[in-house]
Amino acid sequence: MTLPIRNVAIIAHVDHGKTTLVDALLKQSGTFREGEEVPDCVMDSNDLERERGITILSKNTAVHYKDTLINIVDTPGHADFGGEVERVLGMVDGCILIVDANEGPMPQTRFVLKKALEKGLRPIVVVNKIDRPQADPYGAIDKVLDLFLELGADDDQCEFPYLFASGLAGYAKKDLEAESVDMQPLFEEILDHVPPPVGDPAKPLQLQVTTLDYSDYLGRIVIGRIHNGEIRMGQQAALVKEDGSIVKSKVTKLLGFEGLKRVDMESASAGHIVAIAGFADANIGETITDPNEPQALPLIKVDEPTLQMTFWVNDSPFAGQEGNFVTSRQLRDRLFRELETNVALRVEETDSPDKYLVSGRGELHLGILIETMRREGYEFQVSQPQVIYREVNGQPCEPFELLVLDVPEEAVGGCIERLGQRKGEMQDMRVGGNGRSQLEFTIPARGLIGFRGEFMRLTRGDGIMNHSFLDYRPILGEVETRRNGVLIAFEEGTATFYAMKNAEDRGVFFITPGTKVYKGMIVGEHNRPQDLELNVCKTKQLTNHRASSGEELVQLQAPVDMSLERALEYIGPDELLEVTPASIRLRKMAKKLAKR
């Protein structure tokens, strides 16, 4: 007799505690042996996820509670990785919506909840971080109900069960005043409110591919849920491709999930989430089915990208010095390989063999791809991100975002003024009792390009900014994005303290003395709107006379640290970002320099 199954996804806004809550569920279900060392955020297995404290890729785990196997899928909270959320919601029968007790629902909460409600899921709401100061658990529940109503939830979905929890402390409870020491109340809610999987083991096999993985030993591994039928190790099966063609193959490995491990299985039936090897050509959304009665499931629909940028082969004077993969063929192969697992990404070839148009869900989505590639040893350059326009009902439209700012009260006026210039419209403003205000705007996506750096200056680094895709609306007029000119290196060489000190009154630098520069490289921001070329490699003329001021200790002002995200937002339409495993450099396009 097979175990009863529950398939549940955990959804939330970024940083509301999904992965920490999964940690608590894993620890209390007996997944880890006593004394085993377990890292925090154990589901964030990727280096970038650990560094940034965000979930980028959805991941599966499974725990046993009483006599039930609970498959848990941890999903990303950023709307930029919405492709991950959309495809895994088809694997589950219920979801846990986590909301911060202090912040309440945020832009990405709206995004992931909307996707869950569209799938007909009935969420269990968990108000997390109730042990924090300034937490307002009941206020958060009221805001969640308002959001459910706003998103058109039906009566059954609005009667959602809710719990109060602290993922970090490892407890959950139904009543705020009750005592609780563990996650048992949440496990009980999952058993009570998440329906068992619907599917008939007697029907022909249907398994939809929702995630792809790769093993050096097994090749491509497909992960998905069995909707109908039964699958056995070693059996013949058919893969129904996106175009309707059928490819027959053999199941060379059948794996189930047990905690964080994959375990060998002989067979699995409808309702199980499994990993299968043997289908080298499988792609996301396709169906593995019975070869005698091939029946495809509907393909997974993913929202279209809203932002695009051009990836170029690096042609700067320093090209090929720091990267292992520098040719157009290597760049092309890597970008098209990314398409196999990144469902929300699009890659198009252009007239030039050295340029590729890459479209994604947002700056973070594309930024993570760029960072991953540079860590793998790729060297290339990218252009300024551009929004993707579409025609809706015969009218040209552009993507709009929902923007939520949490700012100190003294910065409210400045933020409203700047967003007004960028065509942002304020929808709501809430003044908190802690000297901070929450502002809500709708704004064209192009109005947000380059805004984060300005926002940090307006709030002196004390503001929090979140945004997610809203919809396509008619194109608004010109968006005013004010940025000063840049300081451009005049010649190739090594930047010197002497030259930079003399030019310090011209603006702020992005480099330090000793940095190698080339003609056309952007080394700083000018104080004025125009670009300025200057010589940062000039050296002091040496004489045998000591200058009277020679003994004084002179220092340069601190340079602006250009991280990858900051540089992507900063570059202008006639500029490029050169990305190598060792460096990030801003530069002017060669043709623009030639015109000077």
15 among the known binding-site residues? yes
Nearest by Cα to 93 from 5, 26, 170, 163? 5
13 among the known binding-site residues? no
> In terms of C-beta distances under 8 Å and separation of at least 24 residues, what long-range contacts does 500-505 make, across chains too?
500/536, 500/556, 501/554, 501/556, 502/538, 503/534, 503/536, 504/556, 504/557
481 among the known binding-site residues? no
Nearest by Cα to 592 from 572, 580, 578, 574? 574
Instruction: Answer for the pair 404, 470: CB distance below 8 angstroms, yes or no.
Output: no
Nearest by Cα to 258 from 277, 276, 278, 273? 273
- Say which residues have a Cβ less than 8 Å from residue 217's Cβ, sequence separation at least 6: none
484 among the known binding-site residues? no
243 among the known binding-site residues? no
CA distance 77 to 333: 29
Q: In the structure encoding, which two tokens stand for residue 223, read together?
A: 């992960």
Name the burial class of residue 456, with classes exposed (0-12), middle (13-18) and buried (19+) by CB atoms within 10 angstroms of its CB: middle
- Say which residues have a Cβ less than 8 Å from residue 477's Cβ, sequence separation at least 6: 423
Beta bridge partners of 355: 312
Angle (deg, nearest 10), helices 137-150 and 107-118: 50
128 among the known binding-site residues? yes
Q: In the structure encoding, which two tokens stand for residue 328, read together?
A: 């157009």
Q: In the structure encoding, which two tokens stand for residue 376, read together?
A: 């793998």
For every residue of 403-446, DSSP letters joined together read EEEEEEGGGHHHHHHHHHHTT-EEEEEEE-TTSEEEEEEEEEHH
20 among the known binding-site residues? yes
Alpha helices in 171-313 (DSSP H): 184-193
CA distance 56 to 76: 5
CA distance 386 to 388: 7
227 among the known binding-site residues? no
216 among the known binding-site residues? no
CA distance 502 to 518: 19
142 among the known binding-site residues? no
* Positions at the binding site for GTP: 15-20, 128-131
- Cite the annotated binding site by residue number: 15-20, 128-131
